[in-house]
């Protein structure tokens, strides 16, 4: 599978005013306390992991090598519930994605999406769901080339259902496909890739996702609130004694 030479970023988002120190300390304290009590992530503690394929259409110039040329990449995808709620009750669901070698050999790209609406305004609001085969967005903006955009994963088959009370990836009938799209905060979604879940990955219970550590030049989280992600991830890891976990 092809991979353009494009170095991954290992530092925090830049170009935005820093957040107040008190806010960062408060958020990391809550995350650390919760993760320490649970000995697991405070949110999305368990999930189902799948081998996947990330296929780039390469039909538009975004100023991002990963998106600007057609290609296929090995990937991993993780579905999870935020709390999680008891069986049958709606929950905020998560779709985490790792695209292997997205920035060149050994440089992955991680994305973390959650269930929201797809229309303007609703793209920034978390929406509890009962089904994993629904729309997910990044909630917060990404810098895509020179643009600020939101990311989304939209089911390729609107009729497909994957109940959110499933806990074993082996019980999911694969493949399951999503259209990966970008949009301005109030603009239309434009497809840039397809993510296809192809097989359960039972040996990946401790798979780590880090959207700030595994980002690309020209394709990274931006905005002031995204600055909380790196400190929050580190606080969670410290509290649980995890060497490298998202």
Please report the DSSP string for 159-187 in residue order: T---BTT---GGGS-S-EEEEEEEE-TTS
pLDDT of 122 reads: 83
Can you tell me the distance from the alpha carbon of 9 to that of 180, in angstroms, rounded to the nearest whole number?
21
pLDDT band (50, 70, 90) for residue 143: very high
> What's the pLDDT tens digit per position in 27-55?
556 555 455 555 555 454 678 999 999 99
| Whether 199 contacts 51, CB under 8 Å | yes
Q: What are the sequence ranges of the domains in the chain? A: 8-240
With a pLDDT cut of 90, the percent of the chain lying above it is 51
| Whether 211 contacts 6, CB under 8 Å | no
Mention every residue, 6+ apart, whose C-beta is less than 8 A from residue 119: none
Tokens of 94: 């998560």
pLDDT of 8 reads: 43
Average pLDDT value over all residues in the chain: 80
> What's the pLDDT tens digit per position in 155-201?
999 999 999 998 899 999 999 999 999 999 889 999 999 999 999 99
Mention every residue, 6+ apart, whose C-beta is less than 8 A from residue 211: 110, 111, 112, 221, 229, 246
> 185-191: which pairs have CB atoms within 8 A and are 24 or more residues apart?
185/120, 185/123, 185/124, 185/141, 185/148, 185/150, 186/120, 189/118, 189/152, 189/154, 190/60, 191/57
pLDDT of 203 reads: 74
> What's the pLDDT tens digit per position in 76-121?
999 998 776 777 789 999 999 999 999 999 999 999 999 998 888 7
Write the class of the CATH domain 8-240.
Answer: mainly beta
| Whether 224 contacts 16, CB under 8 Å | yes
């Amino acid at each position: 599978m092809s991979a353009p030479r494009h170095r991954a970023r290992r530092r925090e988002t830049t170009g935005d005013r820093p957040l107040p120190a008190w806010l960062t300390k408060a958020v990391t304290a809550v995350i650390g306390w919760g993760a320490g009590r649970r000995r697991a992530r405070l949110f999305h503690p368990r999930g189902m992991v799948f081998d996947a394929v990330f296929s780039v259409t390469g039909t538009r110039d975004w100023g991002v090598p990963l998106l600007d040329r057609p290609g296929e990449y090995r990937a991993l995808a993780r579905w999870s519930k935020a709390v999680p709620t008891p069986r049958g009750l709606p929950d905020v669901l998560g779709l985490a994605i790792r695209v292997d070698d997205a920035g060149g050999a050994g440089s992955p790209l991680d994305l973390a999406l959650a269930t929201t609406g797809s229309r303007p305004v609703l793209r920034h609001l978390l929406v509890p769901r009962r089904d994993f085969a629904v729309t997910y967005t990044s909630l917060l903006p990404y810098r895509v080339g020179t643009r600020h955009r939101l990311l989304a994963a939209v089911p390729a088959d609107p009729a497909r259902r994957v109940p959110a009370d499933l806990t074993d990836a082996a019980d999911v009938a694969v493949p399951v496909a999503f259209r990966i799209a970008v949009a301005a905060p109030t603009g239309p979604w434009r497809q840039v890739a397809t993510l296809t879940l192809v097989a359960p990955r039972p040996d990946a219970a401790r798979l780590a996702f880090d959207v700030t550590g595994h980002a690309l030049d020209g394709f990274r989280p931006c905005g002031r609130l995204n600055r909380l992600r790196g400190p929050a991830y580190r606080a969670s890891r410290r509290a649980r004694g995890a060497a490298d976990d998202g």
